[in-house]
Amino acid sequence: MDVGEIKPLIEAGFDNAIVRVASDDNTHFSALVVATEFDGKRQLARHQLVYNTLGALVGNEIHALSITALTPDEWHQRGNSSD
């Protein structure tokens, strides 16, 4: 697996999300996901939404995944703008 395969899978699970995926070894990944679907949800629920987009790949082709899951407001509060 590489970031080019994972990014569209995550994007497909959200409407108009900002998604960035990185990896140094193509088995351990980090993902930033900014999505309105996270509004009102705790971090665990947000992570579960991201994991649901990847299904059985997590724990198999994707050995580890570090997730930063933010709402658009949280993203903007950190000084970022829309991509």
Domain range list for the chain: 3-74
For residue 35, the SS3 value is coil
As a whole number of angstroms, the distance between CA 79 and CA 60 comes to 35
Residue type for position 5? E
Q: Which CATH class is domain 3-74?
A: alpha beta
Residue listed under structure tokens 């997590």: 58
pLDDT of residue 35: 98
The pLDDT value recorded for residue 76 is 94
Percent of all residues in the chain with a pLDDT value above 70, rounded to a whole number: 98
Q: What is the pLDDT of residue 75?
A: 95
pLDDT in tens, 17-56: 999 999 999 888 999 999 999 999 999 999 999 999 999 9
Distance from C-alpha of 61 to C-alpha of 34, rounded to nearest angstrom: 23
Please provide the average confidence, as pLDDT, over all residues in the chain: 93
Alpha carbon of 23 to those of 5, 7, 29, 68: distances in Å?
Answer: 12, 11, 5, 14
What pLDDT shows up at residue 82? 63
